[in-house]
Structure 1
């Protein structure tokens, strides 16, 4: 190809400016397609011309291409980056050689970045200026003394590798500063193809990092992404007739046509996809650089468990050595949720192994998969990087088949600052701050992720999105009522803000129309939170105090219209009555001590431990299924709830749901029945005998649960940032919740020991817990406690409010 494109006798000599110019013009305007072959052909043509200009220079002088030209790539309007290298030649000889090259280049109007240096001067310039150093790493011999160029390359590469720890730190600072200055390419409507984050400059930086031998970028798709951006820049140069890297709006249709793309949106999406690959590769590479440099200064730390088959190692979430992803379809979501909740990146090696080995989730998803997915969404900012890691290996497409249609889809609206896919993630991030306002944080987070999913299809995206949301919710295993709620949230996610800003709120018909569309108070509560999260994730121009006030006013009016038709917003996951509860209660009444039973969710007993004299069953050797039921029966006495919850936390059991009730026939001492649905945070379930022994010690006061949990939490803080930046706990008193007790609702970030702290705070407040209904929705605990005062009656309003405020302070500390 290159030879065929070089000028023949009829076109003039390649050494003559006119001959080169004519051949260059034929190459760029002919039928040869844009791409690597044409860029290489243009570089080869230019090499031949410049070599002819230098002539027979002899030893001690060489013409060297650096930067992009050094890589053998020339775009139509690229600068020529040239170094005239010399040693042992007189100043007159060097000046004459330079004049023979520079002036013909200038005469043709080609931009030239040139320098004249000895090898020592080149090394000094590289040491003083990082950009010079990076350009020289791509040095390529064009003409003259090849040994001079080879010696320079060897010396510069050796120096780069020797100085890598210091120079890479400097390089990273420049990369971050450039990203702040130019933004992220894949979210810009007029991106700079070279300087923006994820652009061509970052691709060159990855080459420099690889040359240091400290780390290498993920290679899958990276070269194709770089070629894509180069092809777009070539078309930009040819269609505009000028040099430049900014893909301006007025040029995008022409560039798309030159690349045989259907429209400007397709062009931007192609650029965004390429930038996404480069940006992710840069994130992985810089993390590896930090890990390598850090391990030189210290010994690698221990592997800290995060969740089942997931551990932290050297600042990343990785798979445990015993993990068997081929047997565990939920492991990708469990690993992602654990990483995000801990504020850690998910190691690329772990993601690749999960993508290759983990079987697809069954449809509908099992309950654990749904819980882990919601936990991931509820992690806030930390979820973004983990989501991108999953997306890079195709795991998101497997979870959400419609995601591909919104990935990197531009939004040509000055109000929107993100592409559709990133806007959906950002909305979930914003929704996290509202999870304490709603009774179903899981539905809020999933609706936030799906609310604009219809933008991948033609037509009204709200209408299309409703259908997609309904299908997706059913796929995830939500029941019919929750599926209908999610579909309604997606269908009406613009209803509140559009009505509040465009309609007369004093008109009863306006309020009634919204009430009819929303249907119930619970959905209205969710829609209000979704509206604000959506607007805040759109951009600063999409939300204001004025709009917030109008929407709040509309919600107040609609809520009044729906009064009496709503449901209790707190709906913890139900715990089924455990078989054999009556027998256990009778045994607890007879022995006067606690009786425990562990059962799988299929209700086959996994282990049991009764009172003294009864032989406990052994716990299974392997990890238990998620959702094991633990039933505890014991005579009613103060301190039972915090003692039991504390013992479970000490044994690293996560409480998914719980139910506390008082049982017993009239006239006999009451027995407390605590029905728990638990899962091992990691590892296997403990033996029931050990649980019972520690519960007895906790009730007697010989086991200091508070001190043990404090020690564990202190150790966790050293290595983990679980729930960092979570919204503060919220404790409220449910109005008219019960005629026999005061209903206290607690919404907080789930964490080991949370239920113990709640129980302790309630005990310290001197109230009696008559029943409790505990639920976990993703990363959030949604609990209701029915409490009474010393006389067995509900608390007076003032005391109830003081109890809620004190409990909120205790949990916040």
Structure 2
């Protein structure tokens, strides 16, 4: 049957294809039933022949006069599922109970099929032989699990349909492991259907073969059979395959570029892009469901717990708990908290664990989402999620499949599943953006604002969902999105500039002479739209260029291009040099009131903790140690001491420490207990180091995601009165205490500090002096010792 599209909707076109497959299945069944009856009659001994009944049909039935007694024709594969497309193969098994003359019956059955044209895969077996083959041949097992009687002895077919699944279930632990290995090899060879410009609809990862595998796993009773969403995705891919066979007249399952427009027309779609978006959507649905299924299989195949062992739950973040290798909601999680969803997602990514499917569903259905402008906690959780690097991709995909991403970022819908008809690009637009953000996480040590880098990387191609130059339209979209995310106006300007100019450095570096002053001037002129932030923007653009290029594909980024971009950025930053470090923070009235007290004063107000005390060595890191003891994660820290310009007259030798700290998980600590411990520390009546070490020994360490190594930089010329040490590291409990203790062990005093945690990245700057109150000087050995000591503390 050949179909020609004559207008109408996509739904109508697809219904016509499904009807054609069903009609073909019925026609084939009738034809094969007649062939089997004729073959049995012709092979019968003289005098035994009788007129066969047409009762076999599509379900088989008792044979008249015993002609078909003890034989059954069974379909396996696509015809068994009534999914045979025009280019599909017939796969048939002739079952028998040691029937005399079975070879002659088989010959009289197979030859007419061969003569009629369909490609045929056939076998003749007893039930015992079929079971034995299924135990050793995975392809045969998968086919026999879906066996369907066409004609002949229904009891014989029922015996096969009962025995093969029972064998499959009995040996599921071994067979599913074997099936997983075969799938991984196939995925490696065929690639991921969702991100291929010319995918194999059947064999690629996320294709029709994977749904058949999921049905086989369901037959083992280890996991559920494919749900309605997967079945719908399968039907779409099957329709595309059917249309491809109709268009080409061939059996190839690869959707090549030159056939895509014709296939789209047959399916009543607008164009090839709509076809690819629909195919991508279906493939991603199948792939994601497959990942969940294989996690179930892995748990099934893992060593069983001892009886009575129970289910262990371990906190991995505020509102998030690890259970059975997945992250689930904590019992006290507040679904009304607009930051909860992203915070739990970030906790899962940083723990290197998937979100449990039920948790994703519950969050998608019941969790409050941040409204514009987002609160800082929600924005920080988004940055933390992106900062997890490659581990964030799977978590993001889980949220995307649940429909959460487009609710958080409505503009995401325009780039979701959008194909890129460019051989350099290996992903759809949305996946490319997520890959770029994940790659940017490895570059957060290179920039002053990791949060702007990660969000800029996530949005750099957001304009590809709009007409015109994607950099220009993307800048407009980004301005609205950045404001929605709650960034302050200055940061909104920077993000807009990053998206507008994300191609500036790679294009200039590869198309212009970077030694020509005019090239550097052009770069500087482009970033001048945000006065005072030019150096920061160039730094961020250089990092985004790397992340963008690497996420595009190996042909889009290489060593030479990387060197050119880095050198151009260096020249532009050198031309923009001359800035000074930010001044120390001014003392607000509440801090001035604190330092009027004699001795020490402590004020705890929500997440804000302020300490005023006589200035002394180690005060900062000892206070940070107390916060760590109370399971508080330091988000920001500022110090003002008597040595700080403009502060000496106000505080007369008193140091003011101003912290913002949030619970690592669970409820905040009792403010009275926290204040009491801070006062005990100030009175030298608390062994901070000892208690922290005891806590560290009690924590079970679980490997999480791989993060970039910490970086310690001594910034030359940043201050005339102190040595400036910048530390970049992955945030973790007690980080500030470790750094401060390392500096203190070298006899150094911290005269000022600016500590920020941006997402999962700590960006800490310390102004230090030696015991005599002087900068450390330029001695390489001394500076190297400082660097190594801090790195050792971070290790």
Normalising by the residue count of structure 1, what TM-score does the alignment of the two structures yield?
0.88
Which whole-Å CA distance do the structure 1 matches of 2:397 and 2:74 have between them?
A: 40
Structure 1 segment 273-288 matched on structure 2, within 5 A: 273-288=281-296
Q: 2: CA distance between counterparts of 1:777 and 1:262? A: 44
Contact 1:596–1:688 under 8 Å retained in 2: no
Contact 1:575 1:675 in 2 (8 A): no
Q: Which position in structure 2 is the counterpart of 1:680?
A: 663
Aligned partners of 1:596 and 1:692 also within 8 Å: yes
Paired position in structure 2 for 1:49? 31
Report Cα offsets for 1:674-732 as digits up to 9, x if no partner. Answer: 211111111222223433454466667776545554555566554351xx321111222
Deviations 1:630-664 (A, max 9, x none): 12233333332222212211221011111122269
Q: In structure 2, what is the equivalent of residue 597 of structure 1?
A: 603
Aligned-pair CA distance for 1:306: 1.5
Q: Distance in 1 between matches of 2:35 and 2:203?
A: 33
The one of 433, 440, 443 equivalent to 2:442 is: 433
Residue of structure 1 aligned with 2:608, choices 611, 629, 644: 629
Q: Which runs of 5+ in 1 are unaligned?
A: 1-23, 601-627
Q: Could you tell me which residue of structure 1 aligns to residue 631 of structure 2? A: 652
**Change in 2 beyond 3 A, CA 1:322/1:557:** closer
- Taking the aligned partners of 1:73 and 1:802, their CA distance within structure 2 comes to 69
Matched, 1:484 2:514: no
Whether 2:268 is the aligned partner of 1:254: answer no
Residue 296 of structure 1, CA deviation: 3.1
Q: Indicate which of 404, 413, 417 corresponds to 1:408.
A: 417
The verdict on how the C-alpha distance between 1:108 and 1:785 changes in structure 2, with shifts beyond 3 A counting, is same
Structure 2 partner of 1:61: 71
Change (3 A) 1:109 1:712: farther
Q: Do structure 1's residue 776 and structure 2's residue 785 form an aligned pair? A: no
Q: What secondary structure does 1:233 align onto?
A: helix
Residue 176 of structure 2 corresponds to 168
Alignment of 1:510 with 2:522, yes or no, is no
**Contact 2:602–2:610, Cα closer than 8 Å, also in 1:** yes
* 1:320 maps onto 2:330 in alignment: yes
Sort the Cα spacing of 1:36 and 1:811 in 2 relative to 1 into closer, same or farther, 3 A.
farther
The match for 1:203 is 211
- For 1:709 and 1:486, how far apart are their aligned partners in 2? 40
How far apart are residue 144 of structure 1 and its match? 0.3
CA distance in 1, matches of 2:217, 2:301: 13
Q: Is 1:806–2:768 an aligned residue pair?
A: no
What is the RMSD computed on CA atoms of the aligned residues? 2.5
Asked if residue 417 in structure 1 is aligned to residue 426 in structure 2, the reply is yes
Query: What's 1:108 paired with?
Result: 116
Q: Could you tell me how far 1:35 is from its partner in structure 2?
A: 3.3
Q: Are 2:5 and 2:265, in contact at CA under 8 Å, matched by a contact in 1?
A: no
Aligned twin of 1:134:
142
- Which runs of structure 2 are paired with 1:657-736 in the superposition (5 Å)? 657-662=636-641, 670-695=653-678, 705-706=688-689, 708-710=691-693, 712-713=695-696, 716=699, 718-721=701-704, 724-736=705-717
Asked whether the 8 Å contact 2:637–2:756 carries over to 1, the reply is yes
Structure 1 position 374 matched with structure 2 position 383: yes
How far apart in 2 are the matches of 1:282 and 1:114?
Answer: 30
Runs (5+) with no aligned partner, structure 2: 8-12, 38-51, 53-66, 529-533
- Residue equivalent to 1:17: none
Larger mean CA deviation between 445-454 and 661-670 belongs to: 661-670
Gap change, CA 1:713 and 1:99, over 3 Å in 2: farther
Tell me the CA shift for residue 807 of structure 1.
Answer: 4.3
CA distance in 1, matches of 2:596, 2:504: 56
Cα shift at 1:59: 1.7
1:40 aligns to what?
Answer: 22
Indicate conservation of the 8 Å contact 1:318/1:347, yes or no.
yes
1:107 shift after superposition:
0.5
- CA, structure 1 residues 236+707, in 2 after alignment: closer, same or farther (shift >3 Å)? farther
Change (3 A) 1:719 1:48: same
1:740 Cα shift?
2.4
Structure 2 CA distance, aligned partners of 1:173 and 1:108? 38
The match for 2:464 is 455
Q: In the TM superposition, what is the alpha-carbon distance from 1:185 to its structure 2 partner?
A: 0.6
Question: How far has the Cα of 1:797 moved from its partner?
Answer: 2.2
* Secondary structure in 2 matching 1:774: strand
For 2:681 and 2:288, locate their aligned partners in 1 and report how far apart those are by CA, in whole Å.
49
Closer, same or farther: CA 713–585 of 1 in aligned 2, 3 Å: same
Alignment of 1:213-292 (within 5 A): 213-216=221-224, 219-292=227-300
Of 138, 152, 164 in structure 1, the residue corresponding to residue 160 of structure 2 is 152
Within 2, Cα distance between the matches of 1:339 and 1:59?
A: 60
| TM-score normalised to structure 2 length | 0.90
In 2, Cα distance between equivalents of 1:28 and 1:80: 26
| C-alpha distance in structure 2 between counterparts of 1:551 and 1:756, whole Å | 37
Partner of 1:82: 92
Q: Distance in 2 between matches of 1:694 and 1:729?
A: 30
Number of residue-to-residue matches in the alignment: 750
In structure 2, what is the Cα distance between the partners aligned to 1:145 and 1:494? 69
